[in-house]
């Protein structure tokens, strides 16, 4: 039975009429446990260009929920991204941040569980406790939606585990003879170690348990921390493809020196343990001056794939259309794939511009 739950979301209103279907898609996950995950064939789509659903179909549904993953699958994403953090009982859950008040109602359910800094951390809760929370659209400090035109309905969405995401994608692949991949990121490995938890090892164990620690799987593992990727590759023996995310030193994302990693020497170093890089789009192209940085050229010289982040049709650089940004990334810089909140928009552009 093919799960053609949704082909295209045209407006927020049209989505609300279908919300029940996506809630039911989450229920379907429970039926997948008897079958092994299925990610066994390399993807060669659009002449090798892959579309990575950034936090699932996060342009249309609350990020990282099972429903957002299902929608991204139905839209045609080649890979579904999962950001991973650990619970107090050592379960990998799919959340973008180590703290959870920006995407859940934790303040209402557990008002006394904030740390001294006023934030609520996933690692302070068991999975059972986290499952009591409702996931909503990302909010700022004033509890306003970061992207005001995105989902604003009253659907019930829950935090999902990494295992649940693996089963959902695997079920789709088995049922439809498809090869959708997964693209997990271990969040803040250094910080997790200060809390007494090894999130890199937890990821390795999960992939091993699911018989997915193979070089021929449609799996990329990403991290902003070079040491964690080297640990996965050289000490734990992880065989899947690795991608070094590249931030800016001012972000304090990790202890890594991103200025060095962006250099030719740094890229050569990355190539000793990873198969690709995930740069921020402005590190490839200065949208203010229309200057193409040499990062992509240097990365290609050492054989690294390039998967920049993040294409959002509702948060484009000033003065740029979605089509123009896609042309720059795909045609001019010739990246190998892209992270996007809007899989359908990217695939539509690729279909329209096949001959370019």
End-to-end Cα, the chain, rounded Å: 36
Q: What are phi and psi of 206, to 5 degrees?
A: -65, -45
Under 8 Å between Cβ of 242 and 220: yes
Residues 6+ apart with CB under 8 A from 30: none
Is position 54 annotated as part of the catalytic site?
A: yes
- Could you give the CA distance from residue 160 to residue 168 in angstroms, rounded to a whole number? 11
Selected catalytic residue, list 54, 99, 136, 307 = 54
Six-digit token string for 250: 């001012």
How many residues can be counted in the chain? 356
Measure the CA–CA gap between 151 and 132, rounded to whole angstroms: 21
Kind plus residue range of the DSSP H or E element containing 266:
helix 264-270
Instruction: Quote the CA–CA distance of 95 and 65 in Å, as a whole number.
Output: 9
Strand, helix or coil at 297? helix
- CA 62 vs. chain centroid, Å, equals 13
Query: Of 312, 252, 317, nearest to 63 (Cα)?
Result: 312
Residues 319/348, Cβ–Cβ less than 8 Å: no
> Which of 38, 64, 78, 96 is labelled catalytic?
96
Is there a catalytic annotation at residue 96?
A: yes
Q: How far, CA to CA in Å, does 98 sit from each of 88, 161, 189?
A: 12, 14, 10
Which secondary structure element, helix H or strand E, spans residue 300, and what is its range? Answer: helix 295-301
Element (H, E) at 186: strand 181-186
Geometric angle at alpha carbon 89, from 83 and 92, rounded to 5°: 20
State the helix-helix crossing angle for 66-75 and 162-176, rounded to 10 degrees.
30
Enumerate the active-site residues.
54, 96
């Amino acid at each position: 039975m093919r799960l053609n739950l949704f082909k295209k979301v045209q407006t927020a209103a049209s989505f609300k009429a279908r919300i029940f279907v996506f809630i039911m898609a989450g229920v379907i996950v429970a039926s997948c446990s008897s079958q092994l995950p299925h990610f066994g064939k390399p993807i060669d789509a659009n002449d090798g260009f892959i579309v990575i659903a950034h936090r699932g179909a996060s342009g249309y549904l609350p990020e990282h929920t099972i429903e957002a993953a299902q929608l991204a699958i139905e839209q045609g994403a080649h890979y579904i991204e999962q950001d991973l953090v650990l619970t107090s009982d050592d379960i990998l859950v799919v959340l973008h941040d180590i703290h959870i008040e920006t995407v859940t109602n934790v303040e209402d359910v557990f008002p006394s569980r904030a740390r001294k800094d006023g934030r609520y951390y996933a690692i302070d809760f068991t999975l059972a406790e986290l499952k009591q929370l409702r996931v909503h659209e990302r909010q700022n400090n004033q509890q306003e939606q970061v992207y005001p035109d995105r989902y604003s309905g009253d659907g019930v969405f829950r935090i999902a585990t990494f295992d649940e995401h693996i089963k959902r994608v695997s079920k789709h692949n088995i049922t439809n003879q498809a090869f959708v991949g997964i693209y997990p990121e271990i969040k803040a490995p250094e910080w997790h170690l200060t809390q007494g938890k090894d999130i890199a090892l937890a990821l390795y164990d999960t992939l091993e348990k699911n018989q997915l620690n193979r070089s021929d799987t449609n799996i990329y593992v990403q991290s902003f921390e070079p040491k964690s990727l080297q640990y996965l590759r050289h000490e734990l023996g992880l065989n899947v493809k690795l991608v070094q995310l590249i931030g800016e030193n001012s972000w304090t994302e990790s202890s890594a020196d991103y200025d060095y990693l962006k250099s030719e020497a740094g890229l050569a170093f990355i190539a000793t343990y990873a198969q690709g890089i995930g740069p921020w789009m402005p590190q490839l192209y200065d949208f203010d001056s229309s200057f193409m940085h040499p990062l992509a050229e240097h990365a290609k010289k050492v054989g690294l794939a390039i998967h920049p982040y993040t294409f959002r049709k509702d948060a484009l650089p000033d003065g740029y259309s979605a089509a123009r940004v896609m042309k720059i990334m795909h045609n001019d810089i010739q990246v190998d794939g892209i992270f996007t909140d809007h899989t359908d928009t990217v695939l539509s552009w690729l279909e329209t511009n096949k001959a370019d």
